[in-house]
Chains A and B, each alone.
Chain A
Amino acid sequence: MRGMIDFFRIICHNKRSFIGLIILVIFILMATVGPFVFKLNMTVDYNNRYLTPSFEHWLGTDFAGRDTFIQLVHGSKEVLLVGLLAAFFTLFVGALLGTISGLVGGRLDAGIMLITNLFLTIPSFPILIIMAAIFSIRDPISFALVLSAWSWPGLTRAVRSQIISLKERDFIVICKVMGMSKPHIIFKELMPSITSFLSISFIMTMRGAITGSVGIMMLGLAPYSPTNWGQMLNLAISQTGGIFNPLGFIYLFSPILCLALFQLGSIFFANGIDEALNPRLRG
């Protein structure tokens, strides 16, 4: 408990991570409470397309006259949940296998690296098509699992090389000499040193998962959802040619801005985590 309080004290103390925390809280509220507050109506209202922001439509309307902001709110649940879960799975598998592989070495390392390399090289397209033929994704967890299937190997390799370079550093060697337990070395000494690397990877993976979810939808593995941020972006591009329809700019940039803000919040927040977990950086 004290740890938690300390953690938040540090976060709140650091201006940047405090801002990050606020941004994240807003997004979480948007995804959880938002859909109940704002009712989604996807009926076409062509004459009111591309409206500019107003009290009625906070971010104006899309190419078919539907409220952009409410679409973002309803899309956020799926996007954030799937993104977070996918990033979490990736990070969990990547960090775990990478650490084991880097620390233990030997046969185990060779085995893990073989599997990792195989996954790095096996093409995703045929597998996704095969999966689409067999079943259809209905819940966020399996969606996230599918997305993370191709992102963990890169991370595993990266974590492994981080660990290998760390384990020969002076402070770890000293810890070993002092006879500290393995778990202590891993969780108190090694992990803190790679948290900032991991948090950046987490954020990058999440972004990759959000854009990747569109591809999965378009292969027919998951039902089509026009409020998915990635799909909103896709639609905005096709309706504006990217940049050839000035009326559509707000609609085009809304999901981009949301993605950017969410990532910015995560990065700022990660700064705080870094300092909370890595005592050497404080002061």
Chain B
Amino acid sequence: MTLVIVLKRIGMAFVTVCLATVMTFILLRLTPGNAIDGWARDYATQFGITLEEAYRRIAAMINYNPNEPLHEQFIRYISGLLQGNLGVSMVYQQITVNSIIANAMPWTIFVATISLLISFVIGMLLGVRMAWKRNSILEPSVSLFTVITSAIPDFIFAILLLVVFAYGLDWFPVNGAYDPFVTPGFNIDFIVSVLYYAAMPILTFVITNIGGWALMMKGNAVSILGEDYIIAAKARGISDSVIMNRYVMKNAMLPMITMLAVTFGGMLGGATLIENIFQYPGIGYFLGEATRTRDYTVMQGIMLFLSVTMIVANLIADLVYSKLDPRIKVEG
């Protein structure tokens, strides 16, 4: 793999990011509907003002001029971007999009990474074993586990876990990211609290995702098992566990790395389950809130950030993949 090829890849990724930025911008501007109607009604009720007054007031509260030509808006947005500035929330006017992302991203990445790694590793181990002993009880039981966990909505799973471990046994907290009585910062209390509070969301995610990984891994491992070098290895009397873990596992896992990157990218924006049920202050909540209030600046900021993460994750997966599998030539 030469430097030129790596650079070419990065260039392609950059082009993708640019295109994604433009398309997100345009799409959001084309989206019909608004949040003002519902909002105005709530506002009128809450503050005892008439509906017209509420409309007027909210229009004044939203920092957006729909009459500004699209290209001017776009130029303003891009010039902000070039300075690393994603803009100010249209609805929460004292808050910058940068600060929202900076606050929310660490939580999401923290939970997503840990749960993804745990479920991936366990899934890989299970998958290989399923392929290795195709007639054992393991295969149908994992299949059964998978269909059950994927047919029961994540939502119910989370509630069940909560009812057992948080409400019933009182082992874990009900929700939140850390104990409200602990001061956030680099102190042992806070760190312990964060880990403790993350346990349930992680558990939920791991349980609902292991099955899929295991089944996909099994599919890959089965095809590797038929390979000549496995048969040769068996013939040479290499122990089963070595063949399984060294040869089959490693080779079958390689194509899964791409899936890992795609899933990771998807999880960052789509971890709504974790973030809603467990009141986790991650990016999913803020994206949801921005979508609800049609806060275009926050929406496009977060979406851009997610696009970049997704593209970078895929780029890394590609590069890592070719590094791990020496037979693959990276083509530019």
Contacts and interface: CB of A to CB of B under 8 A. Distances in A.
Interface stretch (B26-34, B42-50, B78-86): B26-34
A162 B156 CA distance: 34
B328 A168 contact: yes
Contact of A121 (B33, B257, B306): B306
Contacts of B316: none
B51 interface: no
A113 interface: yes
Contacts, number: 166
Given A194-B223, A196-B218, A117 B311 contact: yes
Contact of A118 (B20, B218, B251): B20
Interface stretch (A35-43, A77-85, A261-269): A261-269
B13 to A, nearest CB: 8
Given A126-B28, A165-B254, A170-B228, A120 B153 contact: no
Contact of A260 (B27, B147, B255, B257): B147
Interface in B256-274: 257-259, 262, 265-266, 269
B15 A161 contact: no
Contact of B307 (A121, A158, A204, A280): A121
B255 A207 contact: no
Given A123-B303, A158-B258, A197-B216, A263 B228 contact: no
A243 B277 CA distance: 14
B229 to A, nearest CB: 7
B242 interface: no
A122 B262 contact: no
A201 B216 contact: yes
Interface string B258-302: 110010011001000000000000000000000100000001000
Given A161-B258, A168-B327, A130 B30 contact: yes
Nearest to B329: A168
A226 interface: no
B191 interface: no
B177 interface: no
Given A171-B228, A243-B156, A267-B143, A109 B331 contact: yes
Contacts of B258: 157-158, 160-161
A197 B212 contact: no
Contact of B33 (A118, A129, A263): A129
Contacts of A278: 222-223, 226
Interface residues of B, number: 67
A211 B155 CA distance: 12
A278 B134 CA distance: 14
A256 B216 contact: no
A113 B226 CA distance: 30
B259 A281 contact: no
B151 A243 contact: no
A137 interface: no
Contact of B15 (A114, A243, A257, A263): A114
A122 B20 contact: yes
Contacts of B227: 169-171
Nearest to A133: B32
B144 interface: yes
Contacts of A247: none
B226 A280 contact: yes
Nearest to A264: B147
A165 B328 contact: yes
Interface in A102-151: 105-106, 109-110, 113-114, 117-118, 120-123, 125-127, 129-130, 133
Contact of B12 (A113, A129, A133): A113
15 contacts: A121-B307, A123-B303, A127-B27, A133-B32, A157-B258, A165-B255, A165-B325, A170-B227, A196-B219, A200-B212, A200-B216, A237-B153, A242-B159, A267-B143, A267-B215
Interface of B: 12-13, 15-16, 19-20, 23-24, 27-28, 30-33, 140, 143-144, 146-148, 150-153, 155-156, 159-160, 163, 212, 215-216, 218-220, 222-223, 225-229, 251, 254-255, 257-259, 262, 265-266, 269, 291, 299, 303, 306-307, 310-311, 314, 321, 325, 327-329, 331-332
Interface of A: 16, 105-106, 109-110, 113-114, 117-118, 120-123, 125-127, 129-130, 133, 153-154, 157-158, 160-162, 164-165, 168-171, 193-194, 196-197, 199-201, 204, 207, 211, 233, 237, 242-243, 256-257, 259-261, 263-264, 267-268, 274, 278, 280-281
Given A122-B20, A126-B27, 14 more contacts: A16-B140, A105-B331, A121-B310, A164-B255, A165-B325, A168-B325, A197-B219, A197-B220, A201-B216, A260-B152, A267-B146, A274-B219, A278-B223, A281-B225
